[in-house]
Amino acid sequence: MELTRRTTLLGSLALIGSSAVHKPALAAAASYFSGTAVDNGVTYKATNFANIDRKWHRQVVKYFSSEPIGTVVVDTRHHFLYLIMENKTAIRYGVGVGRDGFKWYGRATIDQKALWPKWTPPPEMRKRHPDLPESVEGGSPKNPLGPRAMYLLRDGVDTGYRFHGTLEPGSIGKDASSGCIRMFNEDAIDLYQRCPIGTAVQVLPHIADQAPAQVSDATPVE
């Protein structure tokens, strides 16, 4: 086919338009990171919390619950994870949860923990995404588990779900995962330090009646 000046011009405009669509998305993703941090000998991209809505920041809030101190409770509808503390308070973390078709609810325990865990996609995920690798080593910048994983078991049986870090800080506060609970990498590190093996976990669809949503009364957690 003969290329005319008009065809060439239209092709160039299409490329420019495509580039214009992708650049803002890439810029937005990059804006969620700022510099690097080192953890257990691994250098990773630090979250730019200045560009994260404050309601997703880790903070202490008032929390009323009949669950024992030390229990982790997840409000999937509002994308918050609560670690129950003393004096009717909890540390609240913003999280990403399972998208439609991948949500789950119930009780479990943290029966295994890992620093910079290796990621092995489950067989059903590889069926949906045949291009996925068989595994990704811990500490790899392509490992979606990030710096920590806390494995959730029920009656000694692995549920297949985890609390873990993320490569996508922008997914916190959204229904985005295949059922696992995503956290900012810094928050995954923090929760890992606070939760011993055997920590009780309850995942619920909605607990806003137990914990106020306002941020004004919250205290940041360092």
Q: Grade residue 178 by pLDDT with cuts at 50, 70 and 90.
A: confident
Q: Grade residue 50 by pLDDT with cuts at 50, 70 and 90.
A: very high
Q: What residues does 45 pair with on adjacent strands?
A: 36
Of 23-32, 48-57, 96-105, minimum mean pLDDT range: 23-32
User: In the chain, where are the structural domains located?
Assistant: 5-30, 54-220
Does 180 participate in catalysis according to the annotation?
Answer: yes
Pairwise CA distance, residues 49 & 35, whole Å: 12
Pairwise CA distance, residues 194 & 123, whole Å: 31
Strands 181-183 and 80-84: unpaired
99, 176 contact by CB (below 8 A): yes
Could you identify the residue written with the tokens 């800080």?
Answer: 169
**What is the reported pTM?**
0.80
188, 151 contact by CB (below 8 A): no
Question: Considering 129, 180, 195, 206, which one is annotated as catalytic?
Answer: 180
Question: What's the Cα-to-Cα distance from 159 to each of 49, 53, 59, 156, 188, rounded to whole Å?
Answer: 31, 31, 28, 9, 19
Does 57 participate in catalysis according to the annotation?
Answer: no
- Statement: 54-220 belongs to CATH 2.40.440.10: yes
Q: What is the DSSP string of 87-122?
A: TTEEEEEEEEEE-TT----EEEEEEEEEES--B---
Pairwise CA distance, residues 122 & 222, whole Å: 35
Could you identify the residue written with the tokens 């399972």?
Answer: 98
Q: What is the pLDDT of residues 125-175, one digit of tens each?
A: 778 888 788 889 999 999 999 999 999 999 999 988 999 999 999 999 999
Q: What is the pLDDT of residues 55-110, one digit of tens each?
A: 999 999 999 989 999 999 999 999 999 999 999 999 999 999 977 656 678 999 99
Pairwise CA distance, residues 111 & 196, whole Å: 9
